[in-house]
Chain A
């Protein structure tokens, strides 16, 4: 039934998708966490309240969240070339993937932190905890389940972003389905590639749920 599927091509495409998703999720997690913390801490009534910094980062996050992915790729060409040495290929897709996803995740981090009971922070302050200690020992642990479920949502969004990265020759399952399946009217390949994407999404969701539950103390 699946005699017309190019398995080695499918395997390469799977590796490319996992590679791009993996690296961009890791980078998005750290970048988004930092951005989200800045957004939260500088907002009204919080540890580093600073209207100017807050507005500045908020503007930055909003701008990069609104730029369509394909345009982000074009905008970032000079930056990507300086960083990766080429504007084509899987590595060249990473800056656009990360810069596209990090602001999205930053907002999720901000929301997660806002959910924390202010009383906990006040109590830590009263006990003489430094700001840095509060961030490390209170904010992040308290928000961890929400941070993890947020990165799960972001990771799944990134899987679909990698399909668009095909425009710069990054490969991946989405582009493989387009090249070998859609364009050659080989529905078997489109079908199998879609199944693999679905499996990847399920695995990400499963891992995310596992760690979210594990860290949830409620």
Chain B
């Protein structure tokens, strides 16, 4: 029942937040005044983020930034397209949700003038199954449920390739898609069912498919026992860090750099380790 209410709550929140977005356009550029009086007023920095763990990590960073005279405004997003639109349009000052591969793809497709100023954490995508305890146990023709986000496919398929279940033919620097599978002796069915990332945990809970590939944030949100049901994860070497991304002209903005500094601080690292029990990996510099 509790989980059920949790789900409803999360969905309601996500819906109500879809309408939010508008914030102050440009925070005053504090770096510009050399001789003037020191600015006492807090500068507002609005950052777009996914709900878990990004917004939670930002929430933990809020008091630390307040000490530095920066008021952090967290703008939660429920999808991966709009946070970049909002950043381009100046509705937010930075966003914190995407990985380098995705950022690159988005820049290429939309001509965004964005830069990443640094990495905060990584969330390995995991393969979860209620029936099987390893990838090798998956039967012939097993149905693997994936999200409808193409960039996720590029992270999920290599997990199976590494386990020797499929072979991929991907050009250097490209993300793999289902079309890149050249050998699949067990006829595993990938992405035959593609659901919104939010529905992955509920799908797993109700026993859909033979295995479900779930982004860690959604597995956490859905309250899945990651240790018990996770049967394979992205390798340490291919972990995709989650970036703080800003418009190129803001790359040197002091508030933005301060934000990164706080997010990479020991306090936040400790917070991540304690809160997520290893399901979210802090990236220390």
Chain A residues packing against B (C-beta within 8 Å): 68, 70-71, 74-75, 77-78, 81, 86-89, 166-169, 175, 178-179, 182-185
User: What does the 1/0 interface line of B96-116 toward A look like (CB < 8 Å)?
Assistant: 000000000000011000000
Bound state CA distance, A37 and B153, in angstroms?
49
**Which chain B residues lie closer than 8 Å to A184 at the CB level?**
109, 150
In the complex, what's the smallest C-beta–C-beta distance from B111 to chain A, in angstroms? 10
Whether A88 and B193, one on each chain, are in contact in the complex, defined by CB atoms closer than 8 angstroms, is yes
**Which chain A residues lie closer than 8 Å to B12 at the CB level?**
68, 71
Across the interface, name the chain B residue whose C-beta is closest to A171: B194
* Contact among A71, A175, A182 with B8 in the assembled complex (CB-CB below 8 Å): A71
B251 within 8 A of partner (CB): no
Whether A71 and B194, one on each chain, are in contact in the complex, defined by CB atoms closer than 8 angstroms, is no
Bound state CA distance, A80 and B145, in angstroms?
18
**Which chain B residues lie closer than 8 Å to A68 at the CB level?**
11-12, 15
Count of A-B residue pairs with CB < 8 Å: 61
Bound state CA distance, A87 and B200, in angstroms?
11
Across the interface, name the chain B residue whose C-beta is closest to A180: B150
**Which chain A residues lie closer than 8 Å to B11 at the CB level?**
68, 70-71, 74
**Which chain A residues lie closer than 8 Å to B110 at the CB level?**
185
Whether B195 and A88, one on each chain, are in contact in the complex, defined by CB atoms closer than 8 angstroms, is yes
* Contact among A77, A166, A178, A185 with B202 in the assembled complex (CB-CB below 8 Å): A77
Bound state CA distance, A184 and B150, in angstroms?
8
On whether A166 and B196 interact (CB within 8 A), knowing A81-B206, A183-B150, the answer reads: yes
**Which chain A residues lie closer than 8 Å to B193 at the CB level?**
88-89, 169
Whether A74 and B8, one on each chain, are in contact in the complex, defined by CB atoms closer than 8 angstroms, is yes
Q: Give 23 CB contacts A-B under 8 Å.
A: A68-B11, A68-B12, A70-B15, A71-B12, A74-B202, A77-B206, A81-B206, A87-B208, A88-B193, A88-B208, A88-B209, A89-B193, A167-B196, A168-B203, A169-B193, A169-B195, A175-B148, A178-B148, A179-B148, A179-B150, A179-B194, A184-B150, A185-B110
In the complex, what's the smallest C-beta–C-beta distance from B44 to chain A, in angstroms? 31
B60 within 8 A of partner (CB): no
**Which chain B residues lie closer than 8 Å to A179 at the CB level?**
148, 150, 194
Across the interface, name the chain B residue whose C-beta is closest to A164: B196
A-B pairs with the 9 shortest C-beta distances? A167-B196, A185-B109, A169-B193, A169-B195, A71-B11, A88-B193, A87-B206, A88-B208, A167-B199
* Contact among A70, A77, A167, A182 with B81 in the assembled complex (CB-CB below 8 Å): A182
User: What does the 1/0 interface line of B208-226 toward A look like (CB < 8 Å)?
Assistant: 1100000000000000000
In the complex, what's the smallest C-beta–C-beta distance from B229 to chain A, in angstroms? 18
B54 within 8 A of partner (CB): no
Which residues B35-70 have CB closer than 8 A to chain A? none
Whether A167 and B206, one on each chain, are in contact in the complex, defined by CB atoms closer than 8 angstroms, is no
Add 8 more A-B contacts to A68-B11, A71-B11, A87-B203 (CB < 8 A): A74-B8, A74-B202, A86-B208, A88-B193, A166-B196, A169-B145, A169-B199, A183-B81
